[in-house]
Structure 1
């Protein structure tokens, strides 16, 4: 798992955990505070009723006071039958929550004097303070106090469901914005993390696209301070690697160049010796020819690796392929292999390095001839695929297993030492030429199901 994804998941989980914890804490805290407010409201309502009763008791006897209070607390007609889904009653006659609020008044000796219709009369002797009571299947929160002058007991009550409904709605209204913002916060956190790690991806891109022949240090100005030391160490490694590769290329080029002269002299001497004893020296002469071919391939690979093939020029890709096929035709005739060229290119004038493309076609065609049995055929098909030029060279040989094809493109690799006489550089040179042109070389099976190998070369030649 990438560091960006791991950090995003970790921060997202921690943010969700903290946000949900804060939401739960806020919900519980809001509920508690609202319960405190409701309890204070109960006490205040009881004291208001106490003041009203205390004031009225001086002006009228207890019987008239009871009648006056009952008349004041009588609910509007039809309130008990009204649908709870409505809030305010029509005609401004009241509110549905009046059924969920109640008062009770007892005399000095605990005789009930007055009770709201929603709350049945309490049979037990009233006690001061907060309590819970049950009436008509509902739980009620009550507060009771005693008027010290009149001796009357006054109770105010609220139904438990209205307290739960209101406290739940108010608490949820406090928590809901946090729950709505949480997904947006998580998305912003992930975006912020990806944006923070963008400089690392910018440092990764040059390394991913860096070729062995174009090694260059990374730009330390783009490196964040946290990875500046790592970037400096990588730059030091790249410099040492470039120096090592340059020494290797220089050694290969020097060795191949120095071997050309003694090999030429050795071949001349063997040619003279072959005139007198051909059966004795013909094998040595063939070995020297293979060595000369290897030296030429090493020199060519060294020039390609140097990255200086010159400027591309306009050339006919059809003419280049046709000439390359003509160059290797004698080898095909000698080995009794038929060469078939299928050219389907219409506009073949493209910018390319014609010498390298010719080397590419000759190398791949000669390789196909070498591994094809006698009386078989090697086909070359030239087509257009979008903006690219596609060259397919198919032989009739044993082919290469899919798991070994990537290794076959490496230098000095010969999968079967019993077949062919090369040094394992043909496919490596072809792959390097294709890479230099910004193309792609792949090894595939034949489409007709027959034994053999197809080399498919895509060259964006018209983009140079």
Structure 2
């Protein structure tokens, strides 16, 4: 798992849990506070009725008091018709449809009912304070008190569903900002982490595109303080790696140069001996020729690895392929192999080093001729593909099994020692030249079911600066 993803998961999980805990705690606290507020409102309503009853009891007998209170607390018909209405406040301004969920009861000092808008069954004993009561299939919250002056018992009641609905709506309104802010906070965390890793991505880019022939230290001025030590360690490793590669390149070049002179002298001596003794030294001459070819390939590989003055310029790839085919024509004629070219029209110019591309093409064509049976064809196809030009060289030889193709591109690898006289550097050099041009080289089957090998070289039209 990447560090970015791990940080995002850890921080967003922590922030989400804290936010949800805060929201849940806020919901519970708000809900509890609102329940207390509703209880206080219920007690206040009871005391209002108590005050009204004290005022009326001085001038009205008990029977008339019951009628007067019932008439004063009677709800209009529009309240009963409001259950199907969308608006909670009645259109005619007569009240609120929740009034049906509030009720009052009143008893005389003798316990006789004076007023009952709740319709609760007679429970006998009256006790002051808050309580819950089941009436008409609903649970009601009640508050009961006894008027010390008149001896009357007064009770106010609220239906539990209206209390829960109102308290949950208000509590949810307090929690909702947390829930809305949570995804925004997660996005902000992800964006902040991505922004914080920008300096590391700047350090990654030169390492990703660094070529062996152009190793250079990373800029520690752009590195965050936390990874400056790591950048210094990587720079030390890059310096040691560059020195090791330089020693390897010098050794290969020096060895190849030192071998070239004695091999040339040996070749000349064998030619003189061959004139005096025809046929006796042919095998030895062929072995020396293979050694000379190996030395030349090692020198070429050293120049390619070193890079040198690589100055790509736009070139006509079709012309380079045609010239390369002409260069290997004598070899194809001796092997009785017919090369052919299939080129698409209107191919764009490719920014490349013409001498290196020609070397690569001649090496691939010579390799295809070497492994092709007599009387067969080698087809070279050019086409435009994905912002570049692809060159496909297809032979009718034995081919290479899929599991061995990547190994065949390694240096000094020859899969069949019985065929050819190479040193196993041709394909490796060709791939290195393609990579030097920011292209690629791959091996595949012919694609038509017949035996043979297809070498695919893709070269970009334009190269990006590193």
Structure 2: how far apart are the matches of 1:390 and 1:79?
84
Maintained 8 Å contact 2:350/2:460: no
Structure 1: how far apart are the matches of 2:163 and 2:383?
82
Structure 2: how far apart are the matches of 1:81 and 1:122?
29
Alignment TM-score, normalising by the size of structure 1: 0.93
Quote how far apart the aligned CAs of 1:91 are: 2.4
Q: Secondary structure at the match of 1:87?
A: coil
Structure 1: how far apart are the matches of 2:4 and 2:208?
18
Quote how far apart the aligned CAs of 1:334 are: 2.1
1:342 aligned partner: 342
Structure 2: how far apart are the matches of 1:155 and 1:84?
29
Cα deviation per residue 1:425-445 (whole Å; 9 max; x = unaligned)? Answer: 111111122222222222121
1:376 aligned partner: 376
Q: 1:393 to 1:154 in 2, by over 3 A?
A: same
1:155 aligned partner: 155
Cα deviation per residue 1:266-310 (whole Å; 9 max; x = unaligned)? Answer: 112222222223333221111111111111111111111111145
Q: 1:247 to 1:150 in 2, by over 3 A?
A: same
Quote how far apart the aligned CAs of 1:312 are: 4.2
Q: Secondary structure at the match of 1:417?
A: coil
Structure 2 matches for 1:161-180, cutoff 5 A? 161-180=161-180
Q: 1:150 to 1:387 in 2, by over 3 A?
A: closer
1:92 aligned partner: 93
Quote how far apart the aligned CAs of 1:208 are: 1.6
196-205 or 244-253: bigger deviation = 196-205
Q: 1:29 to 1:366 in 2, by over 3 A?
A: same
Structure 2 matches for 1:287-436, cutoff 5 A? 287-312=287-312, 316-344=316-344, 346=346, 352-385=352-385, 388-436=388-436
Structure 1: how far apart are the matches of 2:458 and 2:368?
18
Maintained 8 Å contact 1:318/1:345: no
Q: 1:39 to 1:304 in 2, by over 3 A?
A: same
Maintained 8 Å contact 2:347/2:384: no
Maintained 8 Å contact 1:43/1:156: yes
1:263 aligned partner: 263
Q: 1:382 to 1:121 in 2, by over 3 A?
A: closer
Q: Does structure 1 residue 286 correspond to structure 2 residue 286?
A: yes
Maintained 8 Å contact 1:325/1:365: yes
Structure 2: how far apart are the matches of 1:82 and 1:225?
69
Cα deviation per residue 1:150-198 (whole Å; 9 max; x = unaligned)? Answer: 1111111111111111112111222222222222222222222222222
Maintained 8 Å contact 1:309/1:353: no
Structure 2: how far apart are the matches of 1:99 and 1:350?
87
Maintained 8 Å contact 2:314/2:352: yes
1:19 aligned partner: 19
- The answer for unaligned runs of 5 or more in structure 2 is none
445-454 or 60-69: bigger deviation = 60-69
- CA-based RMSD: 2.3
Structure 2: how far apart are the matches of 1:361 and 1:122?
108
Q: How many residues align?
A: 463
Quote how far apart the aligned CAs of 1:52 are: 2.3
Maintained 8 Å contact 1:88/1:94: yes
Quote how far apart the aligned CAs of 1:384 are: 4.0
1:108 aligned partner: 109
Quote how far apart the aligned CAs of 1:226 are: 1.8
Q: 1:313 to 1:167 in 2, by over 3 A?
A: closer
1:243 aligned partner: 243
Structure 2: how far apart are the matches of 1:352 and 1:78?
90
Q: 1:71 to 1:217 in 2, by over 3 A?
A: same
- The answer for unaligned runs of 5 or more in structure 1 is none
2:232 aligned partner: 232
Q: Secondary structure at the match of 1:407?
A: helix
Q: Secondary structure at the match of 2:280?
A: helix
Q: 1:119 to 1:249 in 2, by over 3 A?
A: same
297-306 or 436-445: bigger deviation = 436-445
Q: 1:166 to 1:330 in 2, by over 3 A?
A: same
Alignment TM-score, normalising by the size of structure 2: 0.92
Cα deviation per residue 1:53-97 (whole Å; 9 max; x = unaligned)? Answer: 223333444343333222211222353344254423342222212
